[in-house]
Amino acid sequence: MSAQKLKIVFKHRALAAALALSAVQKVFQKCQIPLTDYTLDGEPVDLSTIIPDINTLKPNGFDLVGDAYVICCGSVGRHHLDFLEAGSVSEPPMTWDQWVSEFLTLPGFVMAWVVDSEYDHWQNAQDQLEYKAAGRSCADLALKSNGLPFPLEQQIIDTSSNPGRWIFCDGYIEAVGAVMWLGKLFWPLARADQRQVENLPWLRVSRVSQSVIRIQAAEQCFTTSDGSNGALQDDLRLLLFGNR
């Protein structure tokens, strides 16, 4: 199984570091994952003792790294949102449904989705040098200007048509995943029609709580932009974000 990543978006200033870390701790306790084999911004940390002080120590978010997960929590004030990303280093010891359940009930939850980490990265990579360093050809990829004035102007890869692209928006992120969780705050922000989404035959929709639904468009994370897989991502994007 390739590495995957869970991405969660909250209303701005809703996900304080202590709240996020407390939810992570509960996730770990579910599967009896040790709370001491992690580093917080490079320093060894015991998650059972640091939570009361985390808001003061890391007011702008944190990076938590361990053997099983890499977790990043932060805020993007320009787009009025908070976020948490949990990336699996290998096959997760629990499902992403179990993971996300600790966050769905927190105040300010907007949306969450799961991606294949490598596919997500290359669908959004814009630097040609990054492709060359990885031994990947970008000869057939569309290019565009980065929009900066001379001498900073350069050609970057145009990702604007990639099915797996993600875009910061005001209060949410335009992105799609094979599995997504959408809260009550999502619908007015994205201007999406919840009733239409719930009634589509090609989506598996279930209600997680009174305010959150889970939608599933495919059995596995998207890993290609080709053919029917790419078309499905485009259809899902149009459905959720076509009115913005």
Model confidence pLDDT, tens digit, residues 162-211: 999 999 999 999 999 999 999 999 999 999 999 999 999 999 999 999 99
What average pLDDT does this structure show over 69-80? Answer: 95
The residue that leads in pLDDT, 12 or 53, is 12
| pLDDT tier, 93 (very low <50, low <70, confident <90, very high otherwise) | low
Distances (CA, A) of 139 to 59, 161, 219: 43, 17, 32
Lowest mean pLDDT among 136-150, 155-169, 222-236: 136-150
| pLDDT tier, 92 (very low <50, low <70, confident <90, very high otherwise) | low
What average pLDDT does this structure show over 37-66? Answer: 89
State the chain's mean pLDDT as an integer.
Answer: 93
Domain ranges of the chain: 4-123+171-236, 125-160
Taking alpha carbons only, the member of 186, 188, 182 closest to residue 203 is 182
What average pLDDT does this structure show over 86-108? Answer: 88
Q: Which residues of 87-121 are buried (b: 16+ CB within 10 A; e: fewer)?
A: bbeeebeeebeebbbbbbebebbbbbbbbbbebbe
| pLDDT tier, 36 (very low <50, low <70, confident <90, very high otherwise) | confident
| pLDDT tier, 14 (very low <50, low <70, confident <90, very high otherwise) | very high
Lowest mean pLDDT among 27-36, 150-159, 220-229: 27-36
| pLDDT tier, 66 (very low <50, low <70, confident <90, very high otherwise) | confident
- DSSP-derived 3-state class of residue 24: helix
Specify the pTM.
0.95
Lowest mean pLDDT among 1-15, 82-96, 202-216: 82-96
- Tell how strand 172-174 and strand 179-183 pair up: unpaired
Q: Is the predicted pLDDT of residue 89 greater than 80, yes or no?
A: no
| pLDDT tier, 110 (very low <50, low <70, confident <90, very high otherwise) | very high
Q: Is the predicted pLDDT of residue 120 greater than 70, yes or no?
A: yes
CA dist 3 and 23 (Å) reads 22
Which pLDDT score, from 0 to 100, does residue 230 have? Answer: 97
CA dist 91 and 68 (Å) reads 8
| pLDDT tier, 1 (very low <50, low <70, confident <90, very high otherwise) | low
* Distance, CA of 11 to chain centre: 14
DSSP codes of every residue in 96-149: HHHHHHHHHTSTTEEEEEEEEHHHHHHHH---HHHHHHTT---TTS-EEE--PP
What average pLDDT does this structure show over 44-69? Answer: 88
What average pLDDT does this structure show over 75-89? Answer: 94
